[in-house]
Structures are given as C-alpha cells and as structure tokens.
C-alpha cells in the first residue's frame, strides 16, 4: 500500500504521565494527541496493547485480541458512578519516571474490581444493554479469554498446561462447570474489555479527527501461556500435556552467539490453511478496528521461521522451516481488502522475504542506528532508500540516539558525523533531521530522541528480562523549543499533518 509522506512519534501508552503508576487512555493520552498535532505530526506508533505476560513484555501477551486492563482510564469510571474519587486515593507508590508493574497492577485491578462490582449490582440498564451487545459482538474470542483469565487467577498464574487434566484438554462439561463456578470473575474480565474498547474507540476518534493515524503492532507469535493457545491447541505444535514440542526464536548472529530462544509455540500452518487462516483473518480484523496502520513484528517468519526443539536451552540448534508465505496475506486481503501494513524486515533478509514484502507492496523498516556499521553501501543509509519504507532513528529495541552515539565505535561516530555534516553536538536532532529529509514515505521518531535522553530512556534491551518496558516521561521534559523545532523540520521536509496549513 502506498502511504503519504508523513512522520510521527513512537511512544507506548504505558510511558504517558499520570498519577496511577503507568500511562493509560486518560487525559494524558488526549494531551499527547494535542501535542502531536501542535508539532505537525501525523502518526502515533505504539507497541502491542494486549495484556502483558512474562517479564511485562507486550510481545508475550496473554491474548492476541484483548486490551490490557492497565490502560483503562480510572477517572472515566467515576463519570459512570462506578467509582468515587475516594476510591482513587491510595495511588501506588513509586517513581513517576518508571512503571512498577507489580504495585501498579495490584492497585489498578483492585480499583477496576470495585467499579465492576458496582456496575453489575447497580449499573444503568442502558449500560448493561451496551455491555451485552459488546459481549455478543466479541463472543468468538471474549468467552475464552475471560474464562482463561478467571482460571489463570484461580491457579495463581501457573501455565495452563499445569492446570487440571480436564481443563488442559478443554472437556466441555468441565468448561461449563468452570464458567458457572467462576461467573463473577469471568464477568469481571469481560467488563475490563468493554471498558478498554469504549475508551479506546473514543481516543481513536479524537486522534483521527485531528488527522493523527494510530499505528499498532502485531507480534507474529503468541505466548504459550495465553488464551489463544489454550483455546486453539490444534493450531500449535503441542504435546498431549499441552507443552510445546518446538518453539520460536532466531539463530545465532552478529549480536548473539546463542541466538534468541523466544519460547513461543509454533503454528501448524497446514492446519490453519485448511481453516482458510480464519484465526489470522479475525486477528487482523480486530487489529484494524483498533488501528489505522499495523506493523507486523518479525515479518520474515511468514516466509520462513527458525524452529527450535523445545528441550533446547538456546537457539543454537534449530532449522529454517517455510511459513505460509503469500497464501496467508491473500486470504486476509480477500476478506478485509486493502492492508495498510508495515513489515518489520530487520535482520538478515533473504530474496524470498523481500519478494514476499514487495508482492504486497508493504513498506519495510530502515533504522538509522544500523546505517553506520560499514560503509556507503549500507542499505540503512538514506541515500540507498526507495520511497516505500519507514525510517526510524531507533525502535523500542534500540538504545536512544544519544545513548547509541555515546557507546558507538570511533568508526561509527566519525562516519555519522561526516554523513550528517555535523560535529555531533546534537546527535539526536542530527538523526531526526536525517530521517525527515530522506525520501522514505514515513518517518517515526521515539519520543526519547525528541527529549534528548541517553540510555536511561531506553525501553527494552533484547535478551534481558529485568527492567524493560518501564520508561515514562513527564510533560515538563518536552520543552516548547522542541515542539517548535519538530514542527519546523516536519514542514520543511514536506511531512505536514494534513490538517495543518503548510508554510
């Protein structure tokens, strides 16, 4: 798909300011959209919005369809008389610059539980009707998700393969009994999804009215401990006890001598093909309800993926296996039409992966931090770009621009200074300018680079499990001159928000 020349900001909603331990869909989200508009931006890109799983990673979610309850704006619940201001008094302790997931989740979920109880006991009949309509509309995934979460709570977060045998094997009579016994918990989790959906659609409408497009993220794989795998076991390579036989990852490379063993169960693509890829069609349908544009993480896995025996502790031992290729995207396109998709095509790309990407005209990604490792032939350098790509100064997996420059080799530092014709004094703005002036149709800048943060602003360090996904900003970090400078560069290089008057 051809995208207009534009630019935007990469920021996960957890990083927004706010008093309740993490960012959410409340006032700061609307304020951020207003700021994007004031800076002449057209895109807000974020990470997956699903409930985070292992190590708080949004890429190891408990569901491919659900929204995280941690994003629910608690103050909005007061307007329905499900909460009072006093219910929000005991805010979680901790720094406003980092998310303390343990205490934040405990506080937020307890508050939402109060709101849920009030809704089911004393809620307005019209709101109950809206809730029932939502549950019926989302029934195909919501029923399984709500029961999974209720059981997950009952079993103290243990992997579903360690639950009772009949639950692992989804015996109908046992599932029916569990739904009845856990009805209150099941209804609570349905309530969280209804609240998330209402609030998200309101935020999306607000953004789109201001010509801001929301860019979402679909991880190719799902977590083993998820409602998706538990409720669709035939679609994955699992043992009879529910544990994976083979798992996903990437082989050893320049960055990791052991490769990366992600541990996600792998799809039985032959089974999914017989089902006309319906699970994937519905996954994309849900994603396009939430977002205007979707980035597919690890796009190369649709052409071929690295299969690792589950017994292996690293990704050293494995093999490349062919994925569904264009069959999948043809099936999705037949049902959903035009696919506004960005392909995350980083790493070692084969001609087959490039051909798959280009077959559907999906723009790939260019990351400037990778551009200065070698010489002028490097495909991440802007002079090599085709227009149909998205340029980033860095992604959520990279250091900030200033952090990268501080740790770069002398070759890289010299190369980037000569390429940008700069002394390196403001390397974050040098790279921002380089991205905006490039021919790439879209440019996306992490907010950390606008603010000018060093490595303490990094969002994620691949291969580690502690301290990731926690970074937050405060409004006083964004100075008026930063907004003005971004506006001017955006205007100068023809990436104006369609709702703004061009200079």
Query: Which residues are known to be catalytic?
Result: 297, 344, 397
- Cα–Cα distance, 319 to 322 (Å, whole number): 10
Cβ contacts of 484 within 8 Å, gap of 6 or more: none
- Cα–Cα distance, 299 to 339 (Å, whole number): 14
Closest CA to 77 of 237, 174, 160, 194: 194
- Strand-pairing partners, residue 391, are 366, 443
Cβ contacts of 181 within 8 Å, gap of 6 or more: none
Helix, strand, coil % in the chain, rounded to nearest 5: 45, 15, 40
HSE-CB at 36 with a 13 A cutoff on CA atoms is 34
- Cα–Cα distance, 503 to 496 (Å, whole number): 9
- Cα–Cα distance, 378 to 179 (Å, whole number): 56
CB 175 within 8 A of CB 147: yes
CB 91 within 8 A of CB 107: yes
Strands 6-10 and 43-45: parallel
Distance from first CA to last CA of the chain, Å, rounded? 28
Cβ density class 326-352: b for 16+ within 10 Å, e for less: eebbebbeeeeeebbbbbbbbeebeee
CB 477 within 8 A of CB 451: yes
- Cα–Cα distance, 372 to 409 (Å, whole number): 10
Q: DSSP string spanning 60-97?
A: S-S-SSPPPGGGS-HHHHHTTTS--GGGG-SPPPS-TT
- Cα–Cα distance, 195 to 207 (Å, whole number): 18
Tokens of 199: 């609030």
- Distances in Å between the Cα of 111 and the Cα atoms of 29, 154, 336 are 20, 19, 38
What does the DSSP 8-state code read for residue 471?
B
- Cα–Cα distance, 470 to 55 (Å, whole number): 11
């Amino acid at each position: 798909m051809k995208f207009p020349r534009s630019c935007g900001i990469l920021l996960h909603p957890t990083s927004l300011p706010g008093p309740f331990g993490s960012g959410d869909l409340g006032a700061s989200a609307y304020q951020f959209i207003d700021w994007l508009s004031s800076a002449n931006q057209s895109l807000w890109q974020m990470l997956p919005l699903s409930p985070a799983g292992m190590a708080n990673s949004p890429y190891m979610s408990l569901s491919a369809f659900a929204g995280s309850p941690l994003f629910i704006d608690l103050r909005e619940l007061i307007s329905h008389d499900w909460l009072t201001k006093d219910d929000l008094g005991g805010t979680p302790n901790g720094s406003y610059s980092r998310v303390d997931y343990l205490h934040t989740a405990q506080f937020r979920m307890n508050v939402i539980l109060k709101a849920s109880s009030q809704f089911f006991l004393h809620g307005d009949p019209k709101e109950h009707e809206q809730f029932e309509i939502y549950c019926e509309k989302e029934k195909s995934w919501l029923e399984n998700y709500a029961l999974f979460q209720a059981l997950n709570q009952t079993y103290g977060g243990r992997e579903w393969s360690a639950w009772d045998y009949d639950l692992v094997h989804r015996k109908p009579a046992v599932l029916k009994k569990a739904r009845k016994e856990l009805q209150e918990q099941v209804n609570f989790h349905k309530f969280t999804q209804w609240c998330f959906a209402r609030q998200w659609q309101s935020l999306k409408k607000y953004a789109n009215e201001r010509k801001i497009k929301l860019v979402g993220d679909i991880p190719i794989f799902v977590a083993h401990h998820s409602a998706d795998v538990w409720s669709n076991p035939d679609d994955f390579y699992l043992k009879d006890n529910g544990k994976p036989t083979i798992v996903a990852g990437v082989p050893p490379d320049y960055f990791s001598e052991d490769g990366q063993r992600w541990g996600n169960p792998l799809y039985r693509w032959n089974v999914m093909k017989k089902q006309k890829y319906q699970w994937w069609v519905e996954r994309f349908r849900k994603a396009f309800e939430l977002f205007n544009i979707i980035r597919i993480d690890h796009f190369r896995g649709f052409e071929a993926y690295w299969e690792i025996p589950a017994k292996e502790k690293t990704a050293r031992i494995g093999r490349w296996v062919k994925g569904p290729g264009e069959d999948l995207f043809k099936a999705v396109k037949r049902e959903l039409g035009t696919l506004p998709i960005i392909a995350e095509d980083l790493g070692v790309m084969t001609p087959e992966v490039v051909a798959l990407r280009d077959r559907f005209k999906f723009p790939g990604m260019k990351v400037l931090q990778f551009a200065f490792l070698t010489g002028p032939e490097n495909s991440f350098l802007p002079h090599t770009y085709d227009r149909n790509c998205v340029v980033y100064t860095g992604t959520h997996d990279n250091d900030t621009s200033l952090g990268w420059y501080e740790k770069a080799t002398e070759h890289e530092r010299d190369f980037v200074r000569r390429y940008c014709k700069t002394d390196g004094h403001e390397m974050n703005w040098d790279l921002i300018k380089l991205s905006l002036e490039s021919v790439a149709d879209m440019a996306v800048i992490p907010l950390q680079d606008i603010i000018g943060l060093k490595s303490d602003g990094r969002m994620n360090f691949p291969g580690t499990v502690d301290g990731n996904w926690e970074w937050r900003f405060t409004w006083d970090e964004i100075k008026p001159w930063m907004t003005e400078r971004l506006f001017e560069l955006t205007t100068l290089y023809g990436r104006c928000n369609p709702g703004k008057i061009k200079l």
